[in-house]
Structure 1
Amino acid sequence: MKLKIIAAACLILLALRGFSQDKKFYIFICFGQSNMEGNARIQAQDSIGIDSRFQVLQAVDCGDKGWLKDNWHTAIPPLARCTTGLTPADYFGRTLVANLPEKIRIGIINVSVAGAKIEIFEKDSYQSYLATAPGWMKNIVAEYGGNPYDRLVALAKLAQKSGVIKGILLHQGESNTNDTLWTKKVKGVYDNLMKDLKLKPKKVPLLAGEVVNADQNGICASMNKIITTLPQTVPNSYVISSAGCVCSPDHLHFTAGGCRLLGTRYGETMLSLLGYKVKENQ
């Protein structure tokens, strides 16, 4: 009888171990509007040479690509939805895998909505914002089950079964330009994520990128003055400069080159926070 009990206990332990987190699988939550969603055209160089250690948890079904939602696959762009473009998250992940020990893997979650204010991610009041949104935005939100915040949390909880959430990447602000309450609204979303995912703010930094810079004649560049104050409201937050990141003719979206540079800066900042340096002669 004792042997049966011991055997049963061993089987339970083995089962639990099979579903345990891999502490060397670093998960990063990404959200925002069009630049984080991926507006830049994906070029040939962006889809080759991607290390299989860099993974994305698919947010929506893309049958033509063989990508099923709620499943991991190598992070070949697009990382948000089936027809989106290049995002800073692409080269954020590439930068990390190129500079971290080979035993560490990187996982990305990306739920972003083009043109949306930060209010689209407010847990308890997004409905009022969505109610007045244009039809094309509602169609994007519908791909996320009608609630982008809930989809983000659901993916993050699923990811936590495989790895450990190490940070959050935000690129949003164009639609909230000159909104002096933006930092408080971002804090509200961040605080809800910490609570709903049982995370500790001191261990999960928030990296927020600037919108197209004044040096590129960005039409929303004035918002960067507000974005740079985010660490005053969210202590464990860091602002990623967009200076020199080339934009498209609309002066609102980054080009592929701009996304690469901005994403690399996100990655280098995260490497520093993780206690690593960029390798020389990459």
Structure 2
Amino acid sequence: MNRLLPVLGLLVAINFSSLQAQDDDFYIFLCFGQSNMEGFPGIPESEKGPVNPRFQVLAAVDFPEMGREKGHWYTATPPLSRPPAGLSPADYFGRALVAALPEDKKVGVINVAVGGTKIELFDETTRESYLADAPDWLHNISSAYNKDPYARLIEMGKLAQKDGVIKGILLHQGESNTGDKEWPAKVEAVYQNILHDLDLDAVDVPLLAGEVVAADQNGKCASMNEIIRTLPETIPTAHVVSSEGCPDGPDDLHFSPEGYKMLGTRYADTMLPLLKD
């Protein structure tokens, strides 16, 4: 029995060391969705930096162009998702948060998004059937996450929890589900799965969902915003971020860099009072 004591002591030391490594002042946010969360290609030189090193990104893919390796933290210089993405709402969400929070707080984001996808790709019960009929370009994009972006989000989330505390989930998706009245229920299923798989409590980890390009910008999917605005009726801890007045690009589907800046700042403005609560 006495020979077990050194082993038990070692295990206690390891567990204590692991607990000590987690930084309660490192606020982490999961970001997922389709192309507007991914970041539409095109980053103005003025937006490439310098970025406050208190704002970090956990690389969800190997990203040799940026000198990033999957599963490691880096200063959050855009793009935050994968090559060849661009500026996204996550960029100015993080920049605005670190500017507003005390100097001892850090912000980290994990961005796993797939351009053009429906929400079904993030639900493990519908992913395979959805991909079975998906076009080649969607297979090509999702292959960055081994065609299972939800699993990658959870994998990275578990890694991040060793370093900090998950404080919220950011969603920007809906264009490919335009008109789908079941979308709020589908989002709820994904949200509940995330909470379960990462052992999180909805009260502590709200869901922030951004509207798609608005009607005042001639958004092609603007009608989806009526459905997005109903999300808190299905998810009490959900908050909708308005896209009204956020400039878009020529295709009327993606935001312009200025639009991403405005929308990302609105995500941060929505999150800040929730952090104080």
User: Is the TM-score greater than 0.5?
Assistant: yes
Residue 6 (structure 1) shift: 8.3
Q: In 2, distance between residues paired with 1:249 and 1:145? A: 31
Instruction: Map 1:103-114 onto structure 2 (within 5 A).
Output: 103-114=104-115
Residue 18 (structure 1) shift: 3.4
Runs of 4 or more consecutive aligned structure 1 residues displaced over 2 Å after TM superposition: 5-9, 11-20
Instruction: Map 1:101-180 onto structure 2 (within 5 A).
Output: 101-180=102-181
Instruction: Map 1:45-84 onto structure 2 (within 5 A).
Output: 45-84=46-85
- Report the equivalent of 1:87: 88
Instruction: Map 1:180-191 onto structure 2 (within 5 A).
Output: 180-191=181-192
Kindly indicate whether the alpha-carbon contact (under 8 Å) linking 1:141 and 1:148 is maintained by their aligned counterparts in 2: yes
Q: In 2, distance between residues paired with 1:102 and 1:169? A: 23
Gaps of 5+ in 2: none
Instruction: Encode CA deviations 1:110-140: one digit per residue, 9 max, x unaligned.
Output: 1100000000101122010011111111011
Residue 49 (structure 1) shift: 2.6
TM-score (norm 1): 0.93
Kindly indicate whether the alpha-carbon contact (under 8 Å) linking 2:55 and 2:75 is maintained by their aligned counterparts in 1: yes
When residues 126 and 7 of structure 1 are mapped into structure 2, their CA distance, relative to the original with a 3 A threshold, is: closer
Q: In 2, distance between residues paired with 1:162 and 1:8? A: 24
Instruction: Encode CA deviations 1:38-87: one digit per residue, 9 max, x unaligned.
Output: 00511112111311111111011112321000111110111010211110
Kindly indicate whether the alpha-carbon contact (under 8 Å) linking 1:212 and 1:220 is maintained by their aligned counterparts in 2: yes
TM-score (norm 2): 0.94
Q: Secondary structure at the match of 2:171?
A: strand
Kindly indicate whether the alpha-carbon contact (under 8 Å) linking 1:123 and 1:192 is maintained by their aligned counterparts in 2: no
- Indicate the percent of aligned positions where both proteins have the same amino acid: 55
Gaps of 5+ in 1: 277-282
- Report the equivalent of 1:279: none
Kindly indicate whether the alpha-carbon contact (under 8 Å) linking 1:40 and 1:254 is maintained by their aligned counterparts in 2: no
Q: Secondary structure at the match of 1:18?
A: helix
Kindly indicate whether the alpha-carbon contact (under 8 Å) linking 2:41 and 2:84 is maintained by their aligned counterparts in 1: no
How many residues in Structure 1 have an aligned counterpart in Structure 2?
274
- Report the equivalent of 2:217: 216
Kindly indicate whether the alpha-carbon contact (under 8 Å) linking 1:52 and 1:74 is maintained by their aligned counterparts in 2: yes
Q: In 1, distance between residues paired with 2:263 and 2:76? A: 18
What value does the CA root-mean-square deviation take over the aligned residues? 1.8
Instruction: Encode CA deviations 1:11-57: one digit per residue, 9 max, x unaligned.
Output: 65554343222111111000000000000511112111311111111
